[in-house]
């Protein structure tokens, strides 16, 4: 959620996997510099999204392909 908002706010349009990796790296750097108070709204949104996903897909079970 945080990364998606970063892309939207900065009007980024990753065109390749390398661009996408750079966006992820930047998001991680910004996140690590944020205070717990700054992170709190994002953590709350993540909890809400997790609950929404569980309601929409009650039988979902993460199964990685690798």
What tens digit of pLDDT does each residue of 9-64 get? 888 777 777 787 888 999 999 999 999 999 999 999 999 999 999 999 999 999 99
pLDDT, residue 66, reads: 76
Give the containing element (helix H, strand E) for 38: helix 36-56
Has residue 64 been placed in a domain? Answer: no
- pLDDT of 54 reads 96
Q: What angle do CA 1, 47, 41 make, to 5 degrees?
A: 60
Residue 62 counted as domain residue: no
- Residue-range definition of the domain harbouring residue 33: 2-56
- Number of folded domains in the chain? 1
């Amino acid at each position: 959620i945080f990364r998606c908002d970063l892309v939207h706010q900065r009007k980024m349009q990753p065109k390749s996997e390398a661009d996408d990796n750079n966006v992820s790296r930047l998001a991680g750097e910004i996140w690590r510099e944020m205070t717990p108070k700054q992170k709190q709204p994002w953590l709350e949104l993540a909890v809400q999204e997790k609950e929404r996903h569980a309601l929409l897909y009650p039988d979902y079970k993460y199964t990685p392909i690798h």
